[in-house]
Amino acid sequence: MTLYAVIFYVLAAVILVATLLAITRRNLVHAVVYLIISFFGTAMVYYLLGAPFLAALEVIIYAGAIMVLFLFIIMMLRVEKMAERPFSLGQLLPPVFLGLVFLELVGLLAFTDPGGRVVLEAATASPRTFGRFLFQRYWLAVEIVSFLLLIVLIGALFLGRASGRRRPEGTEGDS
Amino acid sequence: MIVPYGHVLMLAGMLFALGVVCTVARRNLVMILLGVEIMLNAAGIAFVAAALRWQRLEGQAFVLFIMAIAAAEVSVGLALIIRAYRRTGSVDEDTYDLLKW
């Protein structure tokens, strides 16, 4: 077992434990902070698998921008401690069974497929190579995605306006 | 020599399952969005591993697009949550039963 393999398994354990803790937290802020740990681990997995540029983007966009956005929204919402009603056993059994079947199938596919036993060779795509590839092959997709981001910006502004429907007319200053 | 390709796929699959559990089982709208983020992240890990497996850069390019989609989805989703919260004063998903009969 090489050093890379040890690093990968430790990272995988950290990611899974942090995500498991995140999805079971009652407090939303704690959940978001655990998820930030999980995303940092994912960034290191990207780096290990030869994508340093994507690792940087993962830290900047996922662990930075998106999670901070979540934190802001959680602070705005004044979430009361609501009691999460647990599911009853009859409700819980079918999805748990189906989830176990799903996991078993994924494991079976991953371990019996001869393609899954191929050991990954360490290789790195430098940001320069990656950027050149992206803008030569997929420049149209990049343009479409940037256009989508513009649309989303307008949409989020539109949705986030103070609608004032619940308040009486004329008390708000915005147009 | 890092690890077999299947082990990375197992990691991605387990992470995806955790995201599904978070989306389905939690009753809070913010936690539902977090579950979707976890699932997109798991898909990204699978894509990067596939890019390394076949030594092609397409997988990494797709992860870039996944990140853009995730940012778009989460900003619109959170704006919708804010709007719904202004209407009803709650982020519990059971509050939103207007279309039930």
- What are A21-50's pLDDT values in tens digits? 998 888 889 999 999 999 999 999 999 998
Mind listing the pLDDT tens digit for each residue in B2-41? 788 888 888 998 899 899 888 888 888 889 999 999 999 9
A174 falls in which pLDDT band (50, 70, 90)? very low
Site from B32, B33, B34 to mutate, A interface, most A CB atoms within 10 angstroms: B34
Range A45-61 average pLDDT: 92
pLDDT digits (tens, 9 = 90+) for A96-112: 888 888 888 877 877 77
Is B96 a member of any domain? Answer: no
> Is B68 part of a structural domain of the chain?
yes
Sign of CA dihedral B43, A6, A18, A56: negative
Residues 6+ apart with CB under 8 A from B3: A4, A5, A8, A9, A119, A120
The CATH number that domain A1-79 falls under is 1.20.120.1200
Find the mean pLDDT for residues B52-77: 91
Q: In this complex, is the C-beta atom of A36 within 8 Å of any C-beta atom belonging to chain B?
A: no
In a domain, B49, yes or no: yes
Residue B72 lies in a domain: yes
Choose among B2, B57, B81: nearest Cβ to A48.
B2
What the block records as the tokens of A41 is 């681990």
Q: Which domain holds residue B73?
A: 5-88
Look at chain B and report how many structural domains it folds into.
1
Residue B69 sits in a domain whose CATH number is 1.10.287.3510
A contacts of B84 (beta carbons < 8 Å): none
Distance of CA A39 to the CA centre of its chain: 7
The pTM (predicted TM-score) of the whole model is: 0.85
- Please indicate, yes or no, if residue B16 is contained in any of the structural domains: yes
The ipTM, to two decimals, is: 0.90
Question: Could you read off the pLDDT of A121-159 as tens digits, one per residue?
Answer: 777 888 898 899 999 989 999 999 999 999 999 999 988
- For A134-160, letters b (16+ CB in 10 Å) and e give beeebeeebeebeeeeeebeeebeebb
CA B78 to chain A, closest CA, distance in angstroms equals: 7
Among the partner-chain residues A38, A51, A153, the one whose CB lies closest to the CB of B48 is A51
